[in-house]
Chain A
């Protein structure tokens, strides 16, 4: 188990994670990031009708592992007109 921090970069700015979550490894951390991005995008879309895929979550493990998940990686878009 290790602690992972999820720092969000998106249109609103940078939101550092000071607390982190204890997870089994990088795979679980990436899965958490994807769930979180979908949940955030879904809510933004309900409220504003806008889907802004221009963000990412930087994942930082307390044992030095890092990775990023872009908002675009967390969703599949079909039939986009522009």
Chain B
């Protein structure tokens, strides 16, 4: 694994010069591998490093005493997962792995040195945490206002775009290793309701989730059901 996928994700939006690329490639102090269903970062623990996901899928979640939890965002290969702790110094939420994951560990001192010497890179990484916030707002809209089929459709549309940027889609399909319970934790639904909602998308000929893959059959139809407006993902060339 390498930082290639992270650079690919950055370059989908920003011009990165060879000098900037060298700075980014020198950020990690080490690489870490974790298995599936592990807690990578625990809430409220002091952090001296931030991590960039190089492969796999992670999620952030917060939970209640009764054991129910809300997943608030999924992160994909190439995403920084906890740049927030660079300024917050600890996270308010846990980050967990859904698959085997490899991560590049970047000490905060190195981020600090980068922000001092390369202010434009500081803005680009700041953009990353602002993008996380934009995704959170869209998920809030789903949880508060979209019906179950629209929520599911929206999640699939979002992941299709975010996977596609770094070449993780295969035509209209992509890996979705979350089980129905975990999908429910993203969407505020029970696993049973997720199963039924997937059936509704399948019966309408829009999409299917089977064998840990999402297959989209009718992208415009899925986007229309979801009221998916990709502008919140700030895709494509960005003026920064």
Interface residues on A, range: 10 to 19
Determine if A39 and B195 form an interchain contact, defined as CB atoms under 8 angstroms apart.
Answer: no
- Output the least CB separation between A69 and chain B (Å): 10
Determine if B192 and A57 form an interchain contact, defined as CB atoms under 8 angstroms apart.
Answer: yes
Within 8 A of B (CB), among A36-62: 36, 39-40, 43, 46-47, 57
Determine if B190 and A39 form an interchain contact, defined as CB atoms under 8 angstroms apart.
Answer: yes
Determine if B195 and A17 form an interchain contact, defined as CB atoms under 8 angstroms apart.
Answer: yes
Answer whether residue B148 sits at the interface, using C-beta atoms and an 8 A cutoff.
Answer: yes
Determine if A43 and B147 form an interchain contact, defined as CB atoms under 8 angstroms apart.
Answer: yes
Determine if B179 and A19 form an interchain contact, defined as CB atoms under 8 angstroms apart.
Answer: yes
Answer whether residue B193 sits at the interface, using C-beta atoms and an 8 A cutoff.
Answer: yes
Determine if B147 and A15 form an interchain contact, defined as CB atoms under 8 angstroms apart.
Answer: no
Per the bound structure, the CA–CA distance linking A35 and B67 in Å amounts to 15
Within 8 A of B (CB), among A1-29: 6, 8, 15, 17, 19, 21
Determine if B190 and A35 form an interchain contact, defined as CB atoms under 8 angstroms apart.
Answer: yes
Determine if B193 and A46 form an interchain contact, defined as CB atoms under 8 angstroms apart.
Answer: no
Also in contact, A6 and B147, with CB within 8 A (given A15-B199, A19-B180, A21-B181): no
**What are 25 contact pairs spanning A and B, CB under 8 A?**
A6-B191, A6-B192, A8-B195, A8-B196, A15-B199, A17-B192, A17-B195, A19-B179, A19-B180, A21-B180, A32-B190, A32-B191, A32-B192, A36-B190, A36-B191, A36-B192, A36-B193, A39-B148, A39-B189, A39-B193, A40-B192, A40-B193, A43-B147, A43-B148, A57-B192
